[in-house]
Amino acid sequence: MIGTVRIAWHSIFAYAGSLLAGLISIRLSRHLIRDQRVYPYAIAVFVGGLITARLGHVADNWATYADSPERIFTLAGGGIAVTAAPIGSTIAGIVAARWMRLPVGFMLDVAAIGIVTGLAVGRIGDVINGEHHAVACSGLAWCVRYTHPETLGQTAFVHPVVVYDGLFDLLIAAAAYAYWRRTRGRAPEGRAYLVVLGVYGTGRFVSSFLRLDPVVLAGLQEAQVLGLAYALIAFPLLWLLRRRARRGTS
């Protein structure tokens, strides 16, 4: 609490993750971009991702907002759906890179590595708050339940699904960074971005089977629909770019 304003742990770690994502992306971009254009680029990517993440949350909880549409445009008491963030981040990243004459593929690569790291940090707030209800868990040492009355967590033992997501995000970031180190400066760039998008989408598709989120299409949750779409887009494009790279070196 700050005065009469209640600030959730989710918000604190979400902003901390966003700050870390920007710092990592800017630091990695210095491999090629030495001027100040990286700062407005990072802001554009953040704002773009925030917009579609908010829209994703509204779409996933439309029954809540249908009678009070004015609440769509304020984050107070609302939320975001991070699985929808890549849409806005990608669009804003491409537009901003072209507008500022930055290498599109390179900037998408460094932004993706920073963002997926920041997502892992944001999950810490979810764990503290007990957000994102999950299916029952038994027989495992890491099953969790929440006893504090001010959390949103379940009182029965459940899977710590946000912990799974956070650890998986860190693995993605490490793998993407290693891959980027091998491929940076070699056309076509953008391959590390596609690795992050495809693997992240696959992970969210799988982990969401442990979540108790609303079903939106064909028995799937919104995160699963988006995750599947990301994987189906990213992996074929990655295969094409890798094929083009091999042709360029042959």
Residue ranges making up the domain that contains 68? 9-243
Residues of the chain with pLDDT > 70: what percent?
93
Coil, strand or helix: which one is 78?
coil
* Of 78 and 152, the one with more pLDDT: 152
Q: Which of 47, 38, 39, 46 is nearest to 103 (CA)?
A: 38
pLDDT at 187: 86
Domain-embedded: residue 249: no
Domain-embedded: residue 4: no
| Burial bucket for residue 66 (CB in 10 Å: 0-12, 13-18, 19+) | exposed
pLDDT at 80: 82
Half-sphere exposure of 29 (CA within 13 A, CB side): 29
Tens-digit pLDDT profile for residues 221-242: 999 999 999 999 999 999 999 8
Domain-embedded: residue 248: no
Read off φ and ψ for residue 96, nearest 5 degrees.
-65, -40
Domain-embedded: residue 144: yes
Lowest mean pLDDT among 49-53, 117-121, 130-134: 130-134
Section 135-152 average pLDDT:
91
User: Which residues make beta-bridge pairs with 134?
Assistant: 211
How many separate domains does the chain show?
1
Coil, strand or helix: which one is 216?
strand
Residues 6+ apart with CB under 8 A from 72: 54, 58, 65
pLDDT band, residue 1 (cuts 50/70/90): very low
Domain-embedded: residue 97: yes
Q: Find the DSSP H helices in 84-160.
A: 85-99, 104-129
User: Which residues make beta-bridge pairs with 217?
Assistant: 220
Section 127-134 average pLDDT:
89
- Residue where the block lists tokens 């984050």: 75
Neighbours of 190 (CB within 10 A): 21
pLDDT at 26: 96
Domain-embedded: residue 112: yes
pLDDT at 186: 87
Arithmetic mean of pLDDT over the chain? 90
Query: What's this model's pTM, rounded to 2 decimal places?
Result: 0.91
Coil, strand or helix: which one is 218?
coil
Section 1-13 average pLDDT:
66
Half-sphere exposure of 100 (CA within 13 A, CB side): 21
Half-sphere exposure of 169 (CA within 13 A, CB side): 24
Tens-digit pLDDT profile for residues 26-85: 999 999 999 999 999 999 999 999 999 989 888 887 777 777 776 777 655 567 889 999
- Whether 3 shows a pLDDT value over 60: the answer reads no
Lowest mean pLDDT among 49-58, 99-108, 168-177, 187-196: 49-58
Domain-embedded: residue 196: yes
Contact 189, 109 (CB under 8 A): yes
Section 96-112 average pLDDT:
97
CA-to-CA distance for 113 and 196, rounded, in angstroms? 7
Domain-embedded: residue 3: no
